[in-house]
Each structure stands twice: as C-alpha cells, then as structure tokens.
Amino acid sequence: MKKIVVFSLFISTYSCIYAQIGVNTPKPTKTLDVNGNMRIRKLDIINSPVNVLAVDHEGSVKKREDIQLSPSLGDIKYGMQKNDHSGWFLINGRNINTLPFEKIKKNAYTLGFSDYLWDARDRYIKYTSGSNGSLGGSHTVKLTTQNLPSYNVSTASATSGGHSHNLLDHHMGSAGLYAVNDRRGKPNNKTGVDKRFQDRTQTRNTNANSWSHTHTATASIEGQGQTFSIEPEYLTMNLFIYLGE
C-alpha cells in the first residue's frame, strides 16, 4: 500500500509562510528534513562547473563546487610541484622507509615496490612488455662500424716510371786480399789463406731486371669515436605517484 504525502502551502498576497517540513520526523530541523532514504529519478546533466551533493556527518546534504574526484592508488601524473602533496609522492628513488605513515609505506609495497621507489629523474616514460619500473636506454650513443653505411676505399700506387732497388750481397773474398774485416766489422790483421765474408752493395734497375715485388698503398680514415647526444628538446616536469593520504 502506497503512502501519499500531500503538502499544501497557503501564501497570502502580503506575507509569506516560513516553515520546515519533516518526512518521517515530527521535529524537522531543516527546510526539508527526511528521516530515511531519498530517491531522485531524473537529474539534469551539466558540463561545467562540476558540482556534487555531499552528506556531512550529521546527514545534511550540501553542495561542493568544482570538486576533483580522488585519484586511485598507483596513479601517475606529471606536475610542476617540487614536493610531495595531497597523497602524491615524487618518484625520485627514495627509500620506502623514509615515507611518512605506515599506511603510505604499505600502499607502496602493495603496488609492487620492494625497498625503493623508482627513480624517474631524467628519464622518459615508456610502455613496454617488461616489468614495471625497469630501467634502460642512454642519453648518448657512439656509432660503430656496423652502424655506418656500406662503403669502399680504393687506392693506387704512384706511377713514377723506372726505379732501382739496392741489394746487399755477401760474397767470399780471395785468400789474404779481402780479409781485412771480420764478420762483426772489426779489423782483422791476419793474412794468409784465411777467408772472410765481405759485403758489397749491388744496384738493380726494374726497367732492366724484372724482379718480382709488390707495392702497398694505404688509405687513412680519420675518426675519434666521440659519442653524441640523442636527447631531443625537453621540458622539465616532475613525476608523481599517488600513494594515498
């Protein structure tokens, strides 16, 4: 059986009736005092500003303007703030034991941190199939031979015509005639039938004698192996993680 409550307000031309209405309560304390649940079947949708209805500890319904919904545990954000604030903590590699309150520390462990928060300073955020918080990459790179494009270096020896080569010839001297120096180049005063080696230089021209020989040509490639930066232009921001308040 449905109960229907009908409110009748009588307003005169020159006066207003000020009253408080109570539903399921004989002593209302507000303009409309409802002792029980309330249901609204339809509300208009607004875009901005964001207003919400909130209930205080006494059950009074109040409006809050431009309210921001609470972030979830583990949310990440960039910010211009330099310090921890409102449950957001800098991801700067600090020891978890230095975080305030046991609840905050417990939340950090719940998110998978072991002893330290990640260190996000001077790093880019990358989505990867690896484990969260893994570090990698470099700000600089050094090219190796494998990084260079394929290339050929060709050289040619000089075409300066005929030339000569000197040959150091060891030969036996006649007995007593050429035995003036021993093999170490020191004077030898012995005479007679003793024979010693004696050096002499012979010259052979390539245009007269076709001795088999080669010429080597080298090409120099200059390089110092310096590293160069691969970091693009950037804007410094701080990275925070929400660990609760």
pLDDT averaged per 10 residues in sequence order, the chain, 245 residues:
45 55 89 84 69 80 73 93 95 95 95 92 83 84 85 71 58 47 50 47 53 68 84 92 93
What is the C-alpha to C-alpha distance for residues 117 and 129, in angstroms, rounded to an integer? 20
- Please give the pLDDT value at position 216: 74
- Please give the pLDDT value at position 151: 78
- Please give the pLDDT value at position 105: 95
- Please give the pLDDT value at position 113: 92
- Please give the pLDDT value at position 67: 67
Q: Are 205 and 167 in contact (CB under 8 A)?
A: no
- Please give the pLDDT value at position 239: 95
Q: Which single residue is written with the structure tokens 């249901």? A: 39
- Please give the pLDDT value at position 53: 78
Closest by CA to 73, choosing from 104, 116, 99, 42, is: 104
- Please give the pLDDT value at position 109: 95
